[in-house]
Structure 1
Protein backbone atom coordinates (compact mmCIF):
# COMPACT_ATOMS: atom_id res chain seq x y z
CA UNK A 1 0.00 0.00 0.00
CA UNK A 2 3.06 2.28 0.06
CA UNK A 3 2.08 4.01 -3.21
CA UNK A 4 -1.57 4.53 -2.21
CA UNK A 5 -3.04 7.88 -3.23
CA UNK A 6 -6.44 8.85 -1.91
CA UNK A 7 -8.93 10.92 -3.88
CA UNK A 8 -9.80 14.29 -2.37
CA UNK A 9 -12.20 16.92 -3.78
CA UNK A 10 -10.86 20.34 -4.76
CA UNK A 11 -14.09 22.18 -5.47
CA UNK A 12 -14.20 24.62 -8.34
CA UNK A 13 -17.22 25.23 -10.53
CA UNK A 14 -18.27 23.72 -13.88
CA UNK A 15 -18.42 25.86 -17.00
CA UNK A 16 -21.75 27.02 -18.39
CA UNK A 17 -21.05 24.85 -21.44
CA UNK A 18 -20.99 21.57 -19.48
CA UNK A 19 -23.91 19.16 -19.45
CA UNK A 20 -26.07 19.02 -16.34
CA UNK A 21 -26.45 15.24 -16.38
CA UNK A 22 -24.62 13.50 -13.53
CA UNK A 23 -24.91 10.33 -11.43
CA UNK A 24 -26.26 11.95 -8.25
CA UNK A 25 -29.30 10.22 -6.78
CA UNK A 26 -31.25 10.09 -3.54
CA UNK A 27 -33.71 7.25 -2.98
CA UNK A 28 -35.66 5.81 -0.07
CA UNK A 29 -32.85 3.29 0.55
CA UNK A 30 -29.59 4.95 -0.50
CA UNK A 31 -27.91 8.08 -1.82
CA UNK A 32 -25.03 8.50 -4.27
CA UNK A 33 -23.06 11.75 -4.16
CA UNK A 34 -20.62 11.68 -7.10
CA UNK A 35 -17.37 13.57 -7.00
CA UNK A 36 -18.61 15.89 -9.74
CA UNK A 37 -21.15 17.56 -7.45
CA UNK A 38 -18.66 18.44 -4.69
CA UNK A 39 -18.26 22.02 -5.88
CA UNK A 40 -17.61 25.34 -4.16
CA UNK A 41 -21.30 26.22 -3.99
CA UNK A 42 -22.22 23.24 -1.79
CA UNK A 43 -19.57 23.72 0.91
CA UNK A 44 -20.40 24.51 4.54
CA UNK A 45 -18.58 26.21 7.44
CA UNK A 46 -18.49 25.84 11.22
CA UNK A 47 -18.06 28.18 14.19
CA UNK A 48 -14.60 28.47 15.78
CA UNK A 49 -12.75 27.29 12.65
CA UNK A 50 -10.30 29.38 10.61
CA UNK A 51 -9.62 29.05 6.86
CA UNK A 52 -11.81 25.96 6.62
CA UNK A 53 -14.64 24.71 4.47
CA UNK A 54 -16.26 21.29 4.23
CA UNK A 55 -18.50 19.08 2.17
CA UNK A 56 -21.25 17.45 4.24
CA UNK A 57 -21.69 13.97 2.82
CA UNK A 58 -24.25 12.64 5.29
CA UNK A 59 -26.22 13.69 8.34
CA UNK A 60 -28.95 12.10 10.46
CA UNK A 61 -32.29 12.23 8.64
CA UNK A 62 -35.46 10.78 10.15
CA UNK A 63 -36.57 7.77 8.12
CA UNK A 64 -33.18 7.40 6.43
CA UNK A 65 -29.75 6.93 8.01
CA UNK A 66 -29.87 8.26 11.54
CA UNK A 67 -26.70 7.40 13.46
CA UNK A 68 -23.87 9.51 12.02
CA UNK A 69 -22.60 12.44 10.00
CA UNK A 70 -19.61 12.57 7.67
CA UNK A 71 -17.69 15.57 6.36
CA UNK A 72 -14.73 16.15 4.10
CA UNK A 73 -12.87 19.06 5.68
CA UNK A 74 -10.53 21.29 3.68
CA UNK A 75 -7.98 23.27 5.70
CA UNK A 76 -5.99 26.04 4.05
CA UNK A 77 -2.48 26.78 5.29
CA UNK A 78 -2.82 28.31 8.75
CA UNK A 79 -6.33 26.96 9.15
CA UNK A 80 -7.69 24.93 12.03
CA UNK A 81 -9.60 25.16 15.27
CA UNK A 82 -8.95 25.22 19.01
CA UNK A 83 -12.60 24.33 19.60
CA UNK A 84 -13.63 21.97 16.80
CA UNK A 85 -16.40 20.03 18.57
CA UNK A 86 -19.10 21.57 20.75
CA UNK A 87 -20.99 18.33 21.56
CA UNK A 88 -19.42 16.50 24.51
CA UNK A 89 -21.34 13.34 23.60
CA UNK A 90 -19.88 13.13 20.08
CA UNK A 91 -17.10 10.70 19.23
CA UNK A 92 -15.17 11.00 15.99
CA UNK A 93 -12.81 9.46 13.48
CA UNK A 94 -10.48 11.61 11.38
CA UNK A 95 -8.94 10.09 8.24
CA UNK A 96 -6.48 12.14 6.19
CA UNK A 97 -6.65 11.95 2.39
CA UNK A 98 -4.36 14.84 1.41
CA UNK A 99 -1.77 17.12 3.00
CA UNK A 100 -0.51 17.30 6.56
CA UNK A 101 -1.62 18.97 9.79
CA UNK A 102 -1.17 18.76 13.55
CA UNK A 103 -3.70 17.14 15.86
CA UNK A 104 -3.44 17.84 19.58
CA UNK A 105 -5.51 15.20 21.38
CA UNK A 106 -5.86 15.08 25.17
CA UNK A 107 -2.49 16.80 25.56
CA UNK A 108 -0.54 14.72 23.01
CA UNK A 109 0.55 16.13 19.66
CA UNK A 110 0.40 14.08 16.46
CA UNK A 111 1.54 14.97 12.95
CA UNK A 112 -1.10 13.61 10.59
CA UNK A 113 -0.44 12.81 6.94
CA UNK A 114 -2.28 10.85 4.20
CA UNK A 115 -3.47 7.54 5.65
CA UNK A 116 -3.46 8.83 9.23
CA UNK A 117 -6.42 7.72 11.33
CA UNK A 118 -7.42 9.23 14.68
CA UNK A 119 -10.15 7.96 16.99
CA UNK A 120 -11.47 10.69 19.29
CA UNK A 121 -13.67 9.54 22.21
CA UNK A 122 -16.51 11.73 23.52
CA UNK A 123 -15.59 14.61 25.83
CA UNK A 124 -12.01 14.70 24.51
CA UNK A 125 -9.94 17.86 24.39
CA UNK A 126 -8.61 18.25 20.86
CA UNK A 127 -7.63 20.81 18.27
CA UNK A 128 -6.18 20.87 14.75
CA UNK A 129 -3.89 23.28 12.94
CA UNK A 130 -2.41 23.24 9.43
CA UNK A 131 1.01 24.90 9.32
CA UNK A 132 2.32 22.80 6.43
CA UNK A 133 2.23 25.49 3.76
CA UNK A 134 -0.25 23.46 1.71
CA UNK A 135 -3.95 22.60 1.76
CA UNK A 136 -4.95 19.55 3.82
CA UNK A 137 -8.13 17.48 3.43
CA UNK A 138 -9.56 14.88 5.78
CA UNK A 139 -12.73 12.96 6.57
CA UNK A 140 -14.45 13.71 9.86
CA UNK A 141 -16.99 11.09 10.92
CA UNK A 142 -19.11 11.93 13.98
CA UNK A 143 -21.45 9.77 16.01
CA UNK A 144 -23.36 10.23 19.26
CA UNK A 145 -21.63 7.75 21.57
CA UNK A 146 -23.94 5.12 23.07
CA UNK A 147 -22.54 4.53 26.56
CA UNK A 148 -23.27 1.22 28.28
CA UNK A 149 -23.29 0.87 32.07
CA UNK A 150 -20.31 -1.27 33.11
CA UNK A 151 -18.28 -0.52 29.96
CA UNK A 152 -15.56 2.15 30.00
CA UNK A 153 -15.31 4.58 27.12
CA UNK A 154 -12.71 3.53 24.51
CA UNK A 155 -9.36 5.31 24.57
CA UNK A 156 -8.14 7.79 21.99
CA UNK A 157 -5.56 6.55 19.50
CA UNK A 158 -3.76 7.67 16.36
CA UNK A 159 -2.34 5.33 13.72
CA UNK A 160 -1.85 5.05 9.96
CA UNK A 161 -3.30 2.49 7.60
CA UNK A 162 0.22 1.76 6.34
CA UNK A 163 1.00 0.31 9.79
CA UNK A 164 -1.93 -2.12 9.83
CA UNK A 165 -2.01 -5.48 8.07
CA UNK A 166 -5.25 -5.96 6.10
CA UNK A 167 -7.30 -9.05 6.95
CA UNK A 168 -8.46 -11.23 4.02
CA UNK A 169 -12.11 -12.19 3.98
CA UNK A 170 -12.52 -15.97 4.27
CA UNK A 171 -12.39 -17.88 1.01
CA UNK A 172 -11.35 -14.90 -1.14
CA UNK A 173 -7.61 -15.65 -1.53
CA UNK A 174 -6.90 -11.99 -0.75
CA UNK A 175 -9.20 -10.57 -3.44
CA UNK A 176 -11.24 -8.88 -0.69
CA UNK A 177 -9.47 -7.56 2.41
CA UNK A 178 -10.40 -5.23 5.26
CA UNK A 179 -8.10 -2.88 7.17
CA UNK A 180 -9.57 -2.83 10.68
CA UNK A 181 -8.53 -0.05 13.04
CA UNK A 182 -10.48 -1.41 16.02
CA UNK A 183 -10.66 -4.94 17.45
CA UNK A 184 -14.09 -6.34 16.53
CA UNK A 185 -14.38 -7.97 19.97
CA UNK A 186 -13.94 -4.65 21.81
CA UNK A 187 -17.50 -3.90 22.94
CA UNK A 188 -16.58 -0.40 24.08
CA UNK A 189 -16.73 0.73 20.46
CA UNK A 190 -20.13 1.41 18.93
CA UNK A 191 -18.87 2.28 15.46
CA UNK A 192 -16.26 0.88 13.10
CA UNK A 193 -14.56 2.89 10.38
CA UNK A 194 -12.54 0.53 8.18
CA UNK A 195 -10.94 0.48 4.74
CA UNK A 196 -12.18 -2.19 2.34
CA UNK A 197 -10.03 -3.21 -0.63
CA UNK A 198 -10.91 -5.33 -3.65
CA UNK A 199 -8.45 -6.57 -6.23
CA UNK A 200 -9.64 -6.42 -9.87
CA UNK A 201 -12.29 -9.10 -10.24
CA UNK A 202 -13.02 -9.19 -6.50
CA UNK A 203 -16.67 -9.26 -5.50
CA UNK A 204 -19.10 -9.19 -2.63
CA UNK A 205 -20.76 -12.41 -3.80
CA UNK A 206 -24.18 -11.91 -2.20
CA UNK A 207 -26.55 -9.06 -1.45
CA UNK A 208 -25.60 -8.04 2.09
CA UNK A 209 -28.80 -7.10 3.93
CA UNK A 210 -28.27 -6.05 7.53
CA UNK A 211 -29.12 -3.55 10.23
CA UNK A 212 -25.92 -1.49 10.00
CA UNK A 213 -26.03 1.89 8.31
CA UNK A 214 -23.16 2.68 5.97
CA UNK A 215 -21.18 5.57 4.62
CA UNK A 216 -18.80 4.51 1.81
CA UNK A 217 -16.31 6.98 0.34
CA UNK A 218 -14.37 5.63 -2.64
CA UNK A 219 -10.69 6.31 -2.01
CA UNK A 220 -9.31 4.67 -5.13
CA UNK A 221 -10.40 2.84 -8.29
CA UNK A 222 -13.84 2.08 -9.68
CA UNK A 223 -16.49 -0.62 -9.49
CA UNK A 224 -20.11 -1.49 -10.10
CA UNK A 225 -21.98 -1.37 -6.79
CA UNK A 226 -25.37 -2.95 -6.04
CA UNK A 227 -27.60 -0.62 -4.04
CA UNK A 228 -31.06 -1.95 -3.25
CA UNK A 229 -32.28 -3.08 -6.72
CA UNK A 230 -29.87 -0.97 -8.76
CA UNK A 231 -26.35 -1.51 -10.09
CA UNK A 232 -24.51 1.83 -9.97
CA UNK A 233 -21.09 2.70 -11.40
CA UNK A 234 -18.87 4.41 -8.83
CA UNK A 235 -15.31 5.73 -8.91
CA UNK A 236 -12.74 7.43 -6.70
CA UNK A 237 -14.26 10.49 -5.04
CA UNK A 238 -17.85 9.18 -5.03
CA UNK A 239 -19.80 8.69 -1.81
CA UNK A 240 -22.57 6.19 -1.04
CA UNK A 241 -24.92 6.51 1.92
CA UNK A 242 -26.99 3.44 2.85
CA UNK A 243 -29.83 3.14 5.33
CA UNK A 244 -30.28 0.00 7.42
CA UNK A 245 -31.20 -3.16 5.47
CA UNK A 246 -30.39 -1.70 2.06
CA UNK A 247 -29.11 -4.70 0.04
CA UNK A 248 -25.57 -4.18 -1.21
CA UNK A 249 -22.94 -6.01 -3.24
CA UNK A 250 -20.16 -5.02 -5.63
CA UNK A 251 -17.95 -6.10 -8.49
CA UNK A 252 -14.48 -4.61 -8.91
CA UNK A 253 -13.73 -4.54 -12.61
CA UNK A 254 -10.23 -3.04 -12.45
CA UNK A 255 -7.82 -2.19 -13.87
CA UNK A 256 -6.57 -1.26 -10.39
CA UNK A 257 -7.69 -1.82 -6.81
CA UNK A 258 -11.10 -0.62 -5.64
CA UNK A 259 -10.90 0.84 -2.12
CA UNK A 260 -13.35 2.65 0.13
CA UNK A 261 -13.58 4.12 3.63
CA UNK A 262 -16.51 2.41 5.37
CA UNK A 263 -18.58 3.54 8.36
CA UNK A 264 -20.96 1.24 10.23
CA UNK A 265 -22.71 1.27 13.62
CA UNK A 266 -22.05 -1.83 15.75
CA UNK A 267 -22.22 -3.53 19.16
CA UNK A 268 -25.38 -2.02 20.61
CA UNK A 269 -28.99 -3.05 21.25
CA UNK A 270 -31.52 -1.66 18.80
CA UNK A 271 -33.24 1.44 20.14
CA UNK A 272 -36.87 0.47 20.72
CA UNK A 273 -37.95 4.11 20.74
CA UNK A 274 -41.68 4.61 21.10
CA UNK A 275 -42.34 0.88 21.04
CA UNK A 276 -41.76 0.49 24.78
CA UNK A 277 -42.94 -2.70 26.46
CA UNK A 278 -46.39 -2.47 27.95
CA UNK A 279 -47.60 -5.09 30.44
Structure 2
Protein backbone atom coordinates (compact mmCIF):
# COMPACT_ATOMS: atom_id res chain seq x y z
CA UNK A 1 0.00 0.00 0.00
CA UNK A 2 0.96 3.60 -0.60
CA UNK A 3 -0.54 5.71 2.16
CA UNK A 4 -0.84 9.49 1.87
CA UNK A 5 -2.14 12.50 3.73
CA UNK A 6 -3.71 15.14 1.51
CA UNK A 7 -5.19 18.60 1.87
CA UNK A 8 -4.34 21.95 3.38
CA UNK A 9 -1.49 22.26 5.85
CA UNK A 10 -2.78 21.33 9.30
CA UNK A 11 -6.01 19.83 7.94
CA UNK A 12 -4.72 16.77 6.09
CA UNK A 13 -6.95 13.76 5.52
CA UNK A 14 -5.90 10.11 5.15
CA UNK A 15 -5.73 8.52 1.74
CA UNK A 16 -4.41 5.70 -0.37
CA UNK A 17 -2.70 5.97 -3.75
CA UNK A 18 -4.30 3.77 -6.41
CA UNK A 19 -2.55 2.11 -9.35
CA UNK A 20 -3.33 5.09 -11.57
CA UNK A 21 -1.64 7.53 -9.23
CA UNK A 22 -4.88 9.02 -7.91
CA UNK A 23 -5.70 9.48 -4.23
CA UNK A 24 -8.56 7.51 -2.67
CA UNK A 25 -10.05 8.75 0.58
CA UNK A 26 -9.72 6.67 3.77
CA UNK A 27 -11.53 9.08 6.10
CA UNK A 28 -14.45 6.69 6.67
CA UNK A 29 -12.06 4.08 8.00
CA UNK A 30 -9.22 5.86 9.86
CA UNK A 31 -9.01 9.40 11.26
CA UNK A 32 -5.44 9.92 10.02
CA UNK A 33 -2.29 8.07 8.93
CA UNK A 34 -0.69 7.85 12.37
CA UNK A 35 0.94 5.19 14.47
CA UNK A 36 -2.40 3.67 15.42
CA UNK A 37 -3.01 2.42 11.88
CA UNK A 38 0.63 1.52 11.15
CA UNK A 39 1.01 -1.38 13.57
CA UNK A 40 0.68 -4.91 12.24
CA UNK A 41 -2.92 -5.01 13.45
CA UNK A 42 -3.65 -1.56 12.07
CA UNK A 43 -2.32 -2.35 8.60
CA UNK A 44 -4.09 -5.71 8.61
CA UNK A 45 -7.35 -3.91 9.38
CA UNK A 46 -6.80 -1.56 6.43
CA UNK A 47 -6.12 -4.46 4.10
CA UNK A 48 -9.20 -6.29 5.40
CA UNK A 49 -11.38 -3.44 4.14
CA UNK A 50 -11.30 -5.46 0.93
CA UNK A 51 -13.58 -8.41 1.77
CA UNK A 52 -12.04 -10.53 -0.99
CA UNK A 53 -8.53 -10.49 0.46
CA UNK A 54 -6.65 -9.98 3.69
CA UNK A 55 -3.53 -9.03 1.72
CA UNK A 56 -4.48 -6.26 -0.68
CA UNK A 57 -7.06 -3.51 -0.34
CA UNK A 58 -8.73 -2.60 -3.63
CA UNK A 59 -8.41 1.20 -3.82
CA UNK A 60 -11.19 1.31 -6.40
CA UNK A 61 -13.63 0.60 -3.57
CA UNK A 62 -12.78 3.97 -1.96
CA UNK A 63 -13.98 7.45 -2.97
CA UNK A 64 -11.67 9.21 -5.42
CA UNK A 65 -10.26 12.57 -4.32
CA UNK A 66 -10.40 15.45 -6.79
CA UNK A 67 -7.08 16.60 -8.19
CA UNK A 68 -3.76 15.10 -9.21
CA UNK A 69 -1.38 14.54 -6.27
CA UNK A 70 1.63 16.86 -6.27
CA UNK A 71 0.06 18.94 -9.03
CA UNK A 72 -3.24 20.50 -7.97
CA UNK A 73 -3.67 18.33 -4.86
CA UNK A 74 -1.29 19.11 -1.98
CA UNK A 75 0.17 16.20 -0.06
CA UNK A 76 1.22 16.60 3.54
CA UNK A 77 3.84 14.59 5.37
CA UNK A 78 2.86 10.95 4.85
CA UNK A 79 2.77 10.31 8.63
CA UNK A 80 0.86 12.44 11.11
CA UNK A 81 1.25 12.76 14.86
CA UNK A 82 4.93 11.80 14.79
CA UNK A 83 6.22 11.35 18.33
CA UNK A 84 9.93 11.08 17.53
CA UNK A 85 11.83 12.11 14.41
CA UNK A 86 15.25 10.49 14.71
CA UNK A 87 18.14 10.41 12.27
CA UNK A 88 21.46 8.70 11.62
CA UNK A 89 24.55 10.66 10.62
CA UNK A 90 27.43 9.65 8.33
CA UNK A 91 25.77 6.36 7.40
CA UNK A 92 27.34 6.23 3.92
CA UNK A 93 31.10 5.73 3.90
CA UNK A 94 31.58 7.95 0.85
CA UNK A 95 29.56 10.75 2.48
CA UNK A 96 31.71 10.49 5.62
CA UNK A 97 34.78 10.88 3.39
CA UNK A 98 33.45 14.02 1.68
CA UNK A 99 32.67 15.46 5.14
CA UNK A 100 36.23 14.71 6.28
CA UNK A 101 34.97 12.49 9.10
CA UNK A 102 35.67 8.91 10.11
CA UNK A 103 33.24 6.16 9.17
CA UNK A 104 31.34 5.48 12.40
CA UNK A 105 31.69 2.17 14.20
CA UNK A 106 28.23 2.63 15.73
CA UNK A 107 25.27 4.60 14.33
CA UNK A 108 25.45 8.33 15.11
CA UNK A 109 22.00 9.28 16.38
CA UNK A 110 20.48 12.74 16.54
CA UNK A 111 16.99 14.21 16.54
CA UNK A 112 15.06 16.41 14.16
CA UNK A 113 12.41 18.30 16.10
CA UNK A 114 8.94 17.31 14.99
CA UNK A 115 8.07 20.96 14.31
CA UNK A 116 10.40 20.75 11.28
CA UNK A 117 8.13 18.24 9.51
CA UNK A 118 6.71 19.48 6.21
CA UNK A 119 4.91 18.19 3.16
CA UNK A 120 7.04 16.81 0.33
CA UNK A 121 6.47 19.79 -1.95
CA UNK A 122 6.06 22.61 0.55
CA UNK A 123 8.22 25.70 0.05
CA UNK A 124 11.40 25.82 2.12
CA UNK A 125 11.69 29.17 3.87
CA UNK A 126 15.38 29.84 4.55
CA UNK A 127 16.11 31.08 8.07
CA UNK A 128 16.81 34.80 7.89
CA UNK A 129 20.34 34.44 9.30
CA UNK A 130 21.31 31.30 7.40
CA UNK A 131 24.16 31.19 4.88
CA UNK A 132 24.88 27.45 4.81
CA UNK A 133 21.59 25.58 4.42
CA UNK A 134 22.22 22.23 2.75
CA UNK A 135 20.32 19.25 1.31
CA UNK A 136 20.37 15.50 2.08
CA UNK A 137 18.15 12.94 0.35
CA UNK A 138 17.50 10.03 2.72
CA UNK A 139 15.57 6.81 3.06
CA UNK A 140 13.07 7.15 5.89
CA UNK A 141 11.93 4.30 8.13
CA UNK A 142 8.44 4.50 9.66
CA UNK A 143 7.93 2.38 12.77
CA UNK A 144 4.92 0.09 12.98
CA UNK A 145 4.94 -1.96 16.16
CA UNK A 146 7.01 -0.22 18.81
CA UNK A 147 9.40 -1.69 21.31
CA UNK A 148 12.69 -1.41 23.15
CA UNK A 149 15.80 -3.60 22.92
CA UNK A 150 14.53 -5.06 19.66
CA UNK A 151 16.69 -7.91 18.34
CA UNK A 152 18.25 -7.32 14.91
CA UNK A 153 16.69 -10.49 13.51
CA UNK A 154 13.23 -9.26 14.56
CA UNK A 155 13.64 -5.60 13.63
CA UNK A 156 12.15 -5.94 10.14
CA UNK A 157 8.82 -6.82 11.76
CA UNK A 158 8.78 -3.43 13.48
CA UNK A 159 9.06 -1.45 10.22
CA UNK A 160 5.68 -0.37 8.84
CA UNK A 161 7.18 1.11 5.69
CA UNK A 162 9.55 3.52 4.01
CA UNK A 163 9.45 7.04 2.58
CA UNK A 164 11.58 9.82 1.12
CA UNK A 165 13.06 12.41 3.50
CA UNK A 166 15.04 15.56 2.78
CA UNK A 167 17.21 16.03 5.87
CA UNK A 168 17.73 19.76 5.34
CA UNK A 169 20.60 21.02 7.47
CA UNK A 170 22.06 24.40 8.43
CA UNK A 171 25.77 23.54 8.57
CA UNK A 172 27.02 26.49 10.64
CA UNK A 173 24.41 25.77 13.28
CA UNK A 174 25.08 22.02 13.11
CA UNK A 175 28.89 22.04 13.23
CA UNK A 176 30.24 25.39 14.33
CA UNK A 177 27.86 26.79 16.93
CA UNK A 178 28.65 24.39 19.77
CA UNK A 179 26.61 21.60 21.33
CA UNK A 180 24.93 18.82 19.39
CA UNK A 181 23.89 18.63 15.73
CA UNK A 182 20.22 19.06 16.58
CA UNK A 183 19.96 22.84 16.25
CA UNK A 184 21.21 22.63 12.67
CA UNK A 185 18.67 19.95 11.80
CA UNK A 186 15.38 21.00 13.34
CA UNK A 187 14.43 24.41 11.95
CA UNK A 188 10.88 24.81 10.65
CA UNK A 189 10.56 23.14 7.25
CA UNK A 190 13.80 21.16 7.54
CA UNK A 191 12.00 17.78 7.43
CA UNK A 192 9.92 17.17 4.29
CA UNK A 193 8.51 13.62 4.47
CA UNK A 194 6.74 11.75 1.68
CA UNK A 195 5.06 11.93 -0.80
CA UNK A 196 3.74 8.57 0.39
CA UNK A 197 4.48 5.86 2.90
CA UNK A 198 5.13 2.60 1.05
CA UNK A 199 4.44 -0.40 3.27
CA UNK A 200 7.39 -2.69 3.84
CA UNK A 201 5.84 -5.62 1.97
CA UNK A 202 6.20 -3.62 -1.27
CA UNK A 203 9.94 -3.00 -0.76
CA UNK A 204 11.67 -6.40 -1.09
CA UNK A 205 15.16 -5.01 -0.43
CA UNK A 206 15.63 -1.63 1.25
CA UNK A 207 19.38 -2.01 0.63
CA UNK A 208 18.91 -1.87 -3.15
CA UNK A 209 17.24 1.51 -3.73
CA UNK A 210 18.63 4.34 -5.86
CA UNK A 211 18.31 7.81 -4.38
CA UNK A 212 19.09 11.15 -5.97
CA UNK A 213 18.79 14.92 -5.54
CA UNK A 214 18.99 17.87 -7.95
CA UNK A 215 19.16 21.63 -7.41
CA UNK A 216 17.98 23.71 -10.38
CA UNK A 217 18.31 20.65 -12.59
CA UNK A 218 21.90 19.85 -11.61
CA UNK A 219 22.22 16.40 -10.09
CA UNK A 220 24.34 16.60 -6.95
CA UNK A 221 23.45 13.28 -5.30
CA UNK A 222 23.09 9.95 -7.10
CA UNK A 223 23.64 6.96 -4.86
CA UNK A 224 22.26 3.68 -3.62
CA UNK A 225 21.26 2.38 -0.23
CA UNK A 226 23.57 -0.58 -0.92
CA UNK A 227 26.45 1.57 0.37
CA UNK A 228 24.86 2.21 3.77
CA UNK A 229 27.14 1.41 6.69
CA UNK A 230 24.19 0.29 8.84
CA UNK A 231 21.02 -1.10 7.26
CA UNK A 232 17.43 -0.43 8.37
CA UNK A 233 17.17 -3.47 10.64
CA UNK A 234 20.46 -2.61 12.38
CA UNK A 235 19.32 0.99 12.83
CA UNK A 236 15.97 0.01 14.34
CA UNK A 237 17.58 -2.50 16.72
CA UNK A 238 20.35 -0.10 17.76
CA UNK A 239 18.05 2.89 18.26
CA UNK A 240 15.67 0.83 20.40
CA UNK A 241 18.48 0.31 22.93
CA UNK A 242 18.36 4.00 23.84
CA UNK A 243 14.70 4.92 23.44
CA UNK A 244 11.45 3.03 23.22
CA UNK A 245 10.32 3.22 19.62
CA UNK A 246 6.63 3.94 19.20
CA UNK A 247 4.23 3.43 16.29
CA UNK A 248 4.59 6.26 13.80
CA UNK A 249 8.11 7.26 14.83
CA UNK A 250 10.29 8.21 11.86
CA UNK A 251 14.01 7.54 11.37
CA UNK A 252 16.09 9.14 8.60
CA UNK A 253 18.90 6.77 7.70
CA UNK A 254 21.68 8.94 6.26
CA UNK A 255 22.62 10.37 2.89
CA UNK A 256 24.97 9.47 0.03
CA UNK A 257 27.70 11.88 -1.13
CA UNK A 258 26.95 15.04 -3.05
CA UNK A 259 25.74 17.39 -0.33
CA UNK A 260 26.49 21.07 -0.72
CA UNK A 261 29.06 21.05 2.08
CA UNK A 262 31.07 18.46 0.14
CA UNK A 263 31.35 20.49 -3.09
CA UNK A 264 34.65 22.20 -3.88
CA UNK A 265 34.06 24.99 -3.07
CA UNK A 266 30.96 24.34 -0.91
CA UNK A 267 27.61 25.29 -2.45
CA UNK A 268 24.55 26.12 -0.37
CA UNK A 269 20.89 26.83 -1.05
CA UNK A 270 19.77 30.26 -2.22
CA UNK A 271 16.34 31.79 -2.45
CA UNK A 272 14.64 31.04 -5.75
CA UNK A 273 16.22 27.63 -6.25
CA UNK A 274 14.29 24.38 -6.74
CA UNK A 275 15.26 21.08 -5.13
CA UNK A 276 14.01 17.81 -6.65
CA UNK A 277 14.76 14.48 -5.01
CA UNK A 278 13.51 10.94 -5.00
CA UNK A 279 14.03 7.28 -4.24
CA UNK A 280 13.14 4.43 -6.57
CA UNK A 281 9.72 3.05 -5.68
CA UNK A 282 9.09 5.70 -3.01
CA UNK A 283 8.27 8.77 -5.11
CA UNK A 284 9.71 12.25 -5.50
CA UNK A 285 9.71 15.59 -3.69
CA UNK A 286 10.16 19.15 -4.90
CA UNK A 287 10.83 22.19 -2.74
CA UNK A 288 11.11 25.81 -3.82
CA UNK A 289 13.51 27.84 -1.67
CA UNK A 290 12.00 31.16 -0.57
TM-score for both structures, normalised by structure 2: 0.23
TM-score for both structures, normalised by structure 1: 0.24
Q: Which of the pair has the greater relative contact order for Cα pairs under 8 Å at 6+ separation?
A: 2
Please identify which structure carries the higher strand content. Answer: 1
Please identify which structure carries the higher helix content. Answer: 2
